[in-house]
Amino acid sequence: MADTKAAEMKVKVVKEPSLMTGSVPTRDWWDVEAIFKPGNYCYPAKKSIVEYHGKNLPGLFGEPRDWEVESDDWVLPDNWKEIIINGIKERLDKFRSLKIFMDCCVRCGACADKCHFFLGTGDPKNMPVMRAELFRSVYRNDFTTAGRILGEIAGARPMTFKVLKEWFMYFYQCTECRRCSVFCPYGIDTAEVTMMGRELLHLVGVGTNWILEPAANSNRTGNHLGLQPHTFKENAEFLIDDIEEATGVRLESLNFNRKGAEVLFIIPSADVFADPGIFTFMGYLLIFEQIGLDYTISTYSSEGGNFGLFTNNELMKKLNAKMYAEAKRLGVKWILGGECGHMWRVIHQYMNTMNGPADFLEVPRSPITGTVFENAAATKMVHISEFTADLIHHNKLKIDKSRNDHRTVTFHDSCNTARGMGLLDEPRYILKNVCNNFYEMPENTTRDKTFCCGSGTGLNTGEIMDLRMRAGLPRANAVRYVADRHGVDMLSCVCAIDRATLLALNQYWNPEVEVCGVSELVGNALVMEGEKERETDLRFTPLAGMEG
Amino acid sequence: MRVLKAFIAVVALVLVALLVAQVPGGQSLLGIVLPYLAFAIFLGGFIYKVVDWAKSPVPFRIPTTCGQESSLPFIKQNKLDCPTTKTQVVGRMLLEVLLFRSLFRNTKASIHDGPQLAYGSNKWLWLFGLLFHYSFLVIVLRHMRLFTDPIAGFVAPLEFVDGFLEVGATTIYQSSFILLAAVTFLFLRRVVRPYLRYLSLPADYFPLMLIFAIGATGLLMRHVFRVDIVSVKELTVGLVTFSPAINGQIGAIFFVHVFLVCVLLAYFPFSKLMHLGGVFMSPTRNMANNSRMVRHENPWNDPNIKPHSYEAYEDEFREFMVESGLPVDKQPEPAPAEPEAGQAAPEEESKA
């Protein structure tokens, strides 16, 4: 749990002097040093983990070593500055986005109070424009005429250890949520800047364990949790018992690594392992059982999520490549993807470019409704919300909405599906069809303007709880709003990181509100053949009218 | 301090121009040589920068989607904020470039007891930004009176609309005053709002002050220190026809004005003012959200990056897989397979 009690934090975020609360910083930003202390940084990656990645992708993860963030000696290679500057050069040549975003910012400040990290901490360097300036100042110094000649007057400064520390602090206080990019008149996307910053940090061996270890697990065992094939299978099968207990129906369709299935179904691995993701998983299975979908789940490609996205594009590609490789090996026709935010950023905007073309697959077609998913014609992967919304629209699901009457529901758009895909109304369409009590959060906090859970991009680690609770405040506050006005007690979402992080966030800020996946609510409402009289939902909470 | 640096720079430029205008040959330098040089730097620098941007590929299709995607027929796509076709992208870009649509979304956040966060409407930056850019454009177009002979057809109607508030003998063009007011607003918000003062650089104040000085000298020339407009036109038309000559006494204020414009032109390609070109090339705005419909090519995609293979995976876990009833491609052999790398057990908490 967080170091600071919620009651105390409620006062701190309003009263503590910060740029958010009206106090004015007295020193120029480049004179303020990043100071690491317990609770404000993620632990560095273990030596063995860096070694593992360095073996698979040589040169991208720096020298494996033990080092301490609070120390003034990060045991960096002697030529670390050269590595960084060459790294910037290489990325400027590879990414037009980086060049444009370095050159075009006019510092109008429209992004400043759009960042959840800024709103929650009031730290001026969490204004997206400032975060980018940490990078831009070095870029100007080494890559622009004005910076070379005018130096500090042009806002240029050389790469130093002080700057490196700032990078590590503030590129890990950004969840690449892209909210700032919505408001920027040039569409400057801090996510791109943070990604580049993190790639560069990894080059000199500065990375966090919470990201690199799951990434290593995912490479080796197929999923972030490091579940080996038999454990993954057992975990999933265990949930069949729970479904039977709640519904009286024994599902027969769950299967793994089956060649010749029509559809490969890939989920974020937390859905077979952690509460409340497991209830979302039960929802998926109930849908498939009811419609008789010919699907299989892979243990080799048992992770939808991709922590490579938070590391560098090479690792992202390597981890993602399993999806098509497995689809090809199993000979499926197309791929269906579960509820996960950053997984869908990768699938929607990167997968086919990195690991396509997927010409061995067919354009996805729902075997139940006949709908051809033209929007996935090339990538050949469909989002479960798209798939389910289509089923509902064609009346292919037997639904009893009243089975969610014991819940008052709102919906959290996850950053990646909202701003990196545009999946907004599909989940809402589903929700409105499976529950009677649904309320939207205020308009500046949803859809393309949604607020991050505060712990995305591999920041959902226990050692920075205070920071996470602050960064999640804008989201939590919007939930508070609908909880007070409408009695909302269930925050639904389509993201596995959310299901883990919003749980902690709500326990802190809104203890009466629980968290679920959209498919869980579908699962609750499905009328299954041969079911018993339903007294509880999938998490064994009594249904409305069944409380006594 | 950062304001002061920019202010000193602009004052120094004005003084330099005043001084040079007095020395022999100085007027030719300010009126003929520098304009050519500055225009060449502007054009060359602008093109160089745009070409340099264009040389870097766009490896991934990364539009920021600000509305509903195109997916199912019964779900309405937001064609302008989440475009899938070229036409829709053009629509999005037009709104962005002509109307500053993203800036129009601006809100102002505040935190109150509770805690309670509030997001209020905040359109001032959008309004004054728009006023600034459009009045600047109108002024540039009005100046075409000086560079075309006969005067370009669009100038007279433009002047008519711009000068409909006729006061006294000289027509007052409201664009001049709107420009100065807008620049003043943009400057003041940087100085007054603490977060903007914190993040503003000399490079943010300098162009604002420079443009203010250009506007002010222009107005002074028109309404206070009258210059010989016939000689000015001879010079400006001469510049365009590559036969420039300075005849008669034009007035020092004119050379200050011209010099500041030259500085702005020459400064342009090396500064943030290049957002004029960049706004058209920003990948988060000028790309269609069709990455699942059509494959986007990355020229440097590395085919050597391969996944940890299924074979290696099965080799490592075959025994367990067979034991738990998972299908395998290869039946187990007596000799156990070599594990790939030592892995620590996962941490206790879930990672999504």
Q: Do the Cβ atoms of A456 and A175 come closer than 8 Å?
A: yes
Handedness of CA A107, A183, A503, A507 (dihedral sign): positive
* B12 CA: distance to closest CA in chain A (Å): 16
B310 token code pair: 């299924």
Do B155 and B75 reside in the same domain of the chain?
A: yes
Peptide bond into B207 cis (omega under 30): no
Distance in angstroms (rounded) separating the CA atoms of residues A279 and A158: 51
Q: What residues contact residue B135 under an 8 Å CB cut-off, 6+ apart?
A: B175, B176, B178, B179, B182
- B66, B195, B324: residue with CB nearest A19: B195
Distance in angstroms (rounded) separating the CA atoms of residues B72 and B43: 47
Among B176-190, B199-213, B327-341, name the one with the lowest average pLDDT: B327-341
Q: What is the mean pLDDT of chain B?
A: 93
Distance in angstroms (rounded) separating the CA atoms of residues A103 and A90: 16
Do B271 and B330 reside in the same domain of the chain?
A: no
Distance in angstroms (rounded) separating the CA atoms of residues A457 and A455: 7
Judge whether B245 lies within some domain. Answer: yes
Do B259 and B320 reside in the same domain of the chain?
A: no
CB contact under 8 A, B292 and A192: no
Q: What is the pLDDT of residue A253?
A: 94
| Number of A–B residue contacts, CB under 8 Å | 380
Judge whether B286 lies within some domain. Answer: no
Q: What is the pLDDT of residue B248?
A: 81
Residue B182: pLDDT over 60: yes
Q: What is the pLDDT of residue B349?
A: 40
* B147 CA: distance to closest CA in chain A (Å): 30
A120 token code pair: 């929650």
Instruction: Report residue B347's pLDDT band, with 50, 70 and 90 as the boundaries.
Output: very low
Distance in angstroms (rounded) separating the CA atoms of residues A365 and A432: 24
Per-residue pLDDT tens digits for B94-115: 999 999 999 999 999 999 999 9
Do B333 and B222 reside in the same domain of the chain?
A: no
How many domains, in total, are found in chain B? 2
Peptide bond into A124 cis (omega under 30): no
Q: Is residue A359 exposed (0-12), middle (13-18) or buried (19+ Cβ within 10 Å)?
A: exposed
Q: What is the pLDDT of residue B335?
A: 59
- β-strand pairing of B116-121 with B107-112: antiparallel
CB contact under 8 A, B308 and A220: yes
Residue in chain A nearest B115 by alpha carbon: A10
CA distances from A137 to A226, A345, B63 (A): 40, 29, 26
Distance in angstroms (rounded) separating the CA atoms of residues A428 and A432: 6
- B56, B129, B342: residue with CB nearest A48: B342
Residue in chain A nearest B308 by alpha carbon: A219
Report which of B245, B285, B284 is spatially closest to residue B28, judged by C-alpha positions.
B245
Kind and range of the H or E element at B96?
helix B86-99
Q: Is A56 on the interface with B (CB under 8 A)?
A: yes
Residue in chain B nearest A343 by alpha carbon: B352
Cβ neighbours of B198 in A, within 8 Å = 19, 24-25, 29, 124, 130
Cβ neighbours of A497 in B, within 8 Å = 352
Cβ neighbours of B284 in A, within 8 Å = 97, 181, 187-189
Q: Is A337 on the interface with B (CB under 8 A)?
A: no
CB contact under 8 A, A317 and B305: yes
Do B81 and B222 reside in the same domain of the chain?
A: yes
Cβ neighbours of B321 in A, within 8 Å = 229-230, 299
Per-residue pLDDT tens digits for B7-42: 999 999 999 999 999 999 999 999 999 999 999 999
Question: Per-residue b/e over A391-428, b at no fewer than 16 CB within 10 Å?
Answer: bbbeeebebeeebbebbbbbbbbbbbbbbbbbbbbbbb
CB contact under 8 A, B346 and A217: yes
**β-sheet bridge partners, residue A335:** A264, A381
Q: Where are the beta strands (DSSP E) in A347-495?
A: 381-383, 409-412, 490-493
Q: What is the pLDDT of residue B172?
A: 86
Per-residue pLDDT in tens (0 to 9) along chain A, 548 residues: 578 999 999 999 999 999 999 898 889 999 999 999 999 999 999 999 999 999 999 999 999 999 999 999 999 999 999 999 999 999 999 999 999 999 999 999 999 999 999 999 999 999 999 999 999 999 999 999 999 998 888 899 999 999 999 999 999 999 999 999 999 999 999 999 999 999 999 999 999 999 999 999 999 999 999 999 999 999 999 999 999 999 999 999 999 999 999 999 999 999 999 999 999 999 999 999 999 999 999 999 999 999 999 999 999 999 999 999 999 999 999 999 999 999 999 999 999 999 999 999 999 999 999 999 999 999 999 999 999 999 999 999 999 999 999 999 999 999 999 999 999 999 999 999 999 999 999 999 999 999 999 999 999 999 999 999 999 999 999 999 999 999 999 999 999 999 999 999 999 999 999 999 999 999 999 999 999 999 999 999 999 998 76
Q: Do the Cβ atoms of B341 and A220 come closer than 8 Å?
A: yes
Judge whether B171 lies within some domain. Answer: yes
Q: Is A421 on the interface with B (CB under 8 A)?
A: yes
Q: What is the pLDDT of residue A236?
A: 96
Distance in angstroms (rounded) separating the CA atoms of residues A293 and A252: 12
Do B116 and B73 reside in the same domain of the chain?
A: yes
B45 token code pair: 């620098």
Residue B4 identity: L
CA distances from B77 to A244, A432, B71, B93, B108 (A): 39, 18, 8, 17, 28
Q: What is the pLDDT of residue B351?
A: 42
Judge whether B8 lies within some domain. Answer: yes
Instruction: Report residue B350's pLDDT band, with 50, 70 and 90 as the boundaries.
Output: very low
CB contact under 8 A, B292 and A129: no
Peptide bond into A442 cis (omega under 30): no
CA distances from B229 to A337, B146, B147 (A): 71, 9, 13
DSSP A47: H
CB contact under 8 A, B75 and A233: no
B121: how many CB neighbours lie within 10 A of its CB?
10
Distance in angstroms (rounded) separating the CA atoms of residues A396 and A430: 13
CA atoms within 13 A on the CB side of B13: 26
CB contact under 8 A, B284 and A181: yes
Cβ neighbours of B112 in A, within 8 Å = 14
What's the CA dihedral at B114, A184, A499, A494 to 10 degrees?
130
Distance in angstroms (rounded) separating the CA atoms of residues B104 and B99: 8
Do B264 and B324 reside in the same domain of the chain?
A: no
Residue A38 identity: P
Handedness of CA B297, B303, B309, B311 (dihedral sign): positive
Handedness of CA B134, B136, B142, B145 (dihedral sign): negative
DSSP A58-100: TTSS-------TTSS-----TTHHHHHHHHHHHHHHH-HHHHH
Do B113 and B213 reside in the same domain of the chain?
A: yes
Residue B171: pLDDT over 90: no
What's the CA dihedral at A58, A59, A65, A70 to 10 degrees?
-140
Q: Which of B292, B298, B305, B326 should we substitute to test contact with A (largest number of A Cβ atoms within 10 Å)? A: B292
Domain membership of residue B148 as a residue range: 2-281
Q: Do the Cβ atoms of A495 and A416 come closer than 8 Å?
A: yes
Judge whether B204 lies within some domain. Answer: yes
CA distances from B277 to A112, A176, B157 (A): 23, 25, 28
CA distances from A128 to A82, A311, B69 (A): 26, 20, 26
Which CATH number fits the domain that encloses residue B118? Answer: 1.20.950.20
N-to-C CA span, chain B = 48
CB contact under 8 A, A353 and B345: no
Cβ neighbours of B108 in A, within 8 Å = 113
For tokens 């008052």, name the residue.
Answer: A408
Judge whether B294 lies within some domain. Answer: no
Residue in chain B nearest A307 by alpha carbon: B352
Rg of the Cα atoms in chain A? 24
Q: Where are the domains of chain A?
A: 30-207, 214-525
- B117, B270, B351: residue with CB nearest A270: B351
